[in-house]
């Protein structure tokens, strides 16, 4: 979710990372935006036949003309590890994010974020940090999830569809597709 609304009501995404566990290999998500700040949806993992609810709420929208960041909170289920074991768990997160147009260089606009995620089954709070580097229709997302770094290189095919190459945990390659209507 961006810190500013793009006014699309439906969002669909798919992710395929063949080297991950069955729960993480193939993932589909559908989200309906009740209003520009509240998104509710479901995540589906067909290889383990699981459907889970997800919610995202933007408490504060980003001000594109000021330094005011967006504050976003949410909950969903994902696969996590603590080095010894891998679990599927509900998590609760918050992030502060801000696009920095004043620092645009070579046509790239950085949008850093920082936050935290509580992972229920691991009973742990982890730091989230990352940056999205956008250049026209391309972007590179560098994320640190509290244990691993992930890279996602995306290309926007239209204002509704984008495709991504994923390097999960800096060891598992994958693909992503996002659609908005």
Residue 1 banded pLDDT, cuts 50, 70, 90: very low
Render pLDDT for 119-175 as a digit per residue (tens, 0 to 9). 999 999 999 999 999 999 999 999 999 889 999 999 999 999 999 999 999 999 999
Residue 32 banded pLDDT, cuts 50, 70, 90: very high
Return the domain boundaries, the chain.
10-180
Residue keyed to tokens 């504050």? 71
**For residue 64, what are its two tokens?**
């594109």
What residues does 114 pair with on adjacent strands?
A: 96, 129
Look over the chain and give the mean of its residue pLDDT values, rounded to a whole number: 91
**For residue 46, what are its two tokens?**
């067909």
Of the ranges 67-71, 86-90, 98-102, the best mean pLDDT one: 67-71
**pLDDT score, position 180:** 95
Residue pair 119/80 in contact by the 8 Å Cβ criterion: yes
Please state which CATH number belongs to domain 10-180: 2.40.160.40
Span 64-74, average pLDDT: 91
């Amino acid at each position: 979710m961006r810190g500013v609304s793009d006014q699309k009501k439906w969002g669909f995404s798919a992710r395929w990372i063949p080297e991950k566990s069955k729960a993480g290999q193939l993932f589909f998500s559908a989200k309906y935006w009740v209003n520009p700040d509240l998104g509710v949806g479901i995540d589906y993992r067909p290889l383990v036949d699981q459907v889970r609810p997800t919610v995202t709420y933007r408490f504060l929208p980003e001000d594109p003309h000021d330094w005011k960041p967006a504050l976003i909170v949410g909950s969903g289920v994902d696969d996590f590890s603590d080095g010894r074991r891998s679990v599927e768990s509900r998590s609760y997160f918050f992030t502060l994010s801000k696009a920095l147009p004043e620092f645009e260089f070579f046509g790239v606009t950085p949008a850093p974020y920082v936050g935290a995620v509580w992972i229920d089954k691991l009973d742990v709070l982890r730091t989230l940090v990352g940056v999205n580097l956008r250049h026209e229709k391309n972007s590179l997302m560098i994320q640190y999830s509290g244990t691993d770094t992930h890279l996602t290189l995306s290309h926007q095919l239209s204002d509704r569809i984008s495709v991504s190459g994923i390097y999960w945990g800096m060891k598992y390659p994958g693909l992503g597709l996002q659609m908005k209507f």
